[in-house]
Structure 1
Amino acid sequence: MTKNLPHLLFESQKPNNIGIEILTIESLFERKDDQEHNPEKAHQVAFNMIVFYTEGISKHLVDFVWHPVKKNTIIHISKGQVNAFQFNDKLKGFIVLFTEDYLKKQLNSLPKNEIDRLFNAQLFSPIMQVPRTSNVAEYIQLFYEEYRDTEEDYNQESTYNALYSIIFSKLERLKQYQTFHLKHSDKLNTFLNFKALLETNYKQSRNADFYAEKLNITYKHLNTISKNIISLTAKQFIDAFLVLEAKRLLMNSEIKSTELAYLLGFEEPTNFVKYFKKHTGFTPNQFKKEYI
């Protein structure tokens, strides 16, 4: 039987956990051989993560792309993304994990721009370099110390929430300087609506005209908006979305290429194999062998 890509759930050793946790990269490295899954192997997460590298040089896998990391690199991983570490004995840092439910509870205290910038994998790169002048590391260290304090539990939830808001507000501020400044506009709203429609209808259509019609705009207008927001045409965005969905499904089930083709809306399995190979360089079976 072919193995699936591990799907990791949020599990905390701390009693009455409210959905957020922090640990060190060193501690994960030390106990990697004792865990059911080796974090150096590709796995999908059912929670959100922020990995802050404070020392060392390595690389980090996010959705099948390896990103170089060094001191003061932050990697943001959203729920559902594929992730893997590459450890060495010089790596140090922190890993903040939080559930989707915890995030939803904090939405009212986080600016809307922050949500788009930090939790929208299609809009921004998962990697960010923190300037030496930033004090983000100090707040993350403080959060770690508060979390590790088992003697003082009075009002801890409020303390965690406050530090969470500070850390994420600071990260959003850094993100806006390292990417184009994402302003809320009719164009952005239209693109986010396009993305939402695609998530619901990708099995039905891979045609950009289909989504333009549902949005009551022309194909040309949708294309202009897509290129303006993410520097991809609407069709390129649809293809990138579908290929990533195919990769995740290949990694997480015993499904055969023929079944996957029909599931993704292809009438002929051979067309899906050609489509997948065109965009990845692999057949579906070759890709699965490469990553398992």
Structure 2
Amino acid sequence: MNNFPNISFKITEGSKSTGFDFIRVAEIFERIKKDPNHNPHQPHRISFFALLLVTEGEGEHQVDLKNYKIKKGSVLKIAKGQVNAFKDHTTYDGYLVIFTEDFVLKYFSKSSIEFISHLYNYHISDPLVENSSLNNFFLERITEEINSKNTYAQNEIVAKILELFLLKLERETYNSPLKTFNKKHQTLFIDFKNLVEENYTKTRNVKDYAESLNISTKHLNTIVRAITLNTAKHFIDNYVILEIKRVIFSSTISLKEVSYQNGFDEVTNFTKFFKKHTGLSPKEFKSTL
């Protein structure tokens, strides 16, 4: 389950943002010719967030090994870490909006992130929105801003257009029923997620969380893997990285204080942990902001 190729964020030539891109679906398939090592028709795990907006035609797209029928007016939400694939013989067109976690953390308000459930709670929400009334307005505004010759605060404006679209999309689909896993697994997963959020500074040990839930580590891993296609340890570590990034983005405290605040007794261990999961040391990451 973990052998899917990992696709990192790459901006298109001429893009003015380092964490946001806006690509015509037809252009994606043109990229295959330039990068034969990545076939988007094969399942692959993305390291960014994506929205597939269909403007005409119909087809299918696979998310976490499940096929979704899409057509004009559809929005397919694909979160960081999810596995997806473009299906063959598609007859639709539209846009793929992609943006990084760093872009979200830097430009979105924290309250908005908590409302936009699919960003970090995609495991328990349906990725497909059908017949969205918001697509045309969003596409018009985002295209207008991207093509604007006045680039003052452009990243901030693009982010707010996207943030507003996601919030309105969330409201439009708020009452949609969940179509995912059995209720017992959903409940245990949500309990696990809540425990991680409450206790990640105290423990990153899967066994501790399993004991708190009165289940075995094997059973916990089975539940988490069924819902996220990854292990419980992977989920915990990803959450810790997210919280570390949030602190670095939103405060001016030293990296030493960041490490202690996130449950690390030694700065050396904090640095090794962060670099292992991001490819950058905390200092290098902070210098990119």
> What's 2:168 paired with?
170
CA distance in 2 between counterparts of 1:136 and 1:51 reads 10
Q: What letter corresponds to residue 23 of structure 1 in structure 2?
A: I
Q: Is the 8 A contact 2:59 2:70 kept in 1?
A: yes
What TM-score results when the alignment is normalised by the length of structure 2? 0.62
CA distance in 2 between counterparts of 1:110 and 1:38 reads 37
> What's 2:94 paired with?
93
CA distance in 2 between counterparts of 1:240 and 1:173 reads 28
| Correspondences of 1:233-244 after superposition (within 5 Å) | 239-243=222-226, 244=229
Q: Is the 8 A contact 1:110 1:165 kept in 2?
A: no
CA distance in 1 between counterparts of 2:97 and 2:6 reads 18
Cα 1:32/1:91, change in 2 over 3 Å: farther
CA distance in 1 between counterparts of 2:44 and 2:159 reads 28
- Is 1:136 the counterpart of 2:135? The answer is yes
CA distance in 2 between counterparts of 1:178 and 1:161 reads 26
> What's 1:76 paired with?
77
Deviation of 1:135 after TM superposition, in Å, equals 3.0
What TM-score results when the alignment is normalised by the length of structure 1? 0.61
| Alpha-carbon displacement from aligned partner over 1:145-176 (angstroms, at most 9, x marks no partner) | 432x2633233223212211221111111120
> What's 2:182 paired with?
none
Aligned residues: 213
Deviation of 1:101 after TM superposition, in Å, equals 0.6
Name structure 1 gaps, 5 residues minimum.
181-186, 214-218, 220-234, 250-292
| Correspondences of 1:12-161 after superposition (within 5 Å) | 12=11, 13-14=13-14, 17-36=17-36, 37-88=38-89, 90-108=91-109, 110-111=111-112, 113-131=114-132, 134-147=133-146, 149=147, 151-161=149-159
Name the % identity: 25
CA distance in 2 between counterparts of 1:116 and 1:97 reads 17
CA distance in 1 between counterparts of 2:55 and 2:192 reads 35
| Alpha-carbon displacement from aligned partner over 1:97-150 (angstroms, at most 9, x marks no partner) | 11111111234265355233443122212122134xx13322123213432x26
CA RMSD between the two structures: 3.4
Cα 1:119/1:137, change in 2 over 3 Å: farther
Q: What letter corresponds to residue 223 of structure 2 in structure 1?
A: A
CA distance in 1 between counterparts of 2:107 and 2:175 reads 23
Cα 1:143/1:16, change in 2 over 3 Å: closer
CA distance in 1 between counterparts of 2:115 and 2:58 reads 28
Name structure 2 gaps, 5 residues minimum.
179-187, 235-289
CA distance in 1 between counterparts of 2:102 and 2:166 reads 16
CA distance in 2 between counterparts of 1:94 and 1:15 reads 15
CA distance in 2 between counterparts of 1:94 and 1:42 reads 19
Cα 1:140/1:160, change in 2 over 3 Å: same
CA distance in 1 between counterparts of 2:189 and 2:65 reads 27
Deviation of 1:16 after TM superposition, in Å, equals 5.0
| Alpha-carbon displacement from aligned partner over 1:77-115 (angstroms, at most 9, x marks no partner) | 111111111254631111111111111123426535523
Q: Is the 8 A contact 1:40 1:85 kept in 2?
A: yes
CA distance in 2 between counterparts of 1:200 and 1:67 reads 35
Q: Is the 8 A contact 1:206 1:238 kept in 2?
A: no
CA distance in 1 between counterparts of 2:163 and 2:49 reads 15
Deviation of 1:23 after TM superposition, in Å, equals 0.9
Q: Is the 8 A contact 2:48 2:98 kept in 1?
A: yes
Q: Relative CO higher for 1 or 2, CA cutoff 8 Å, sep ≥ 6?
A: 1
CA distance in 1 between counterparts of 2:134 and 2:123 reads 28
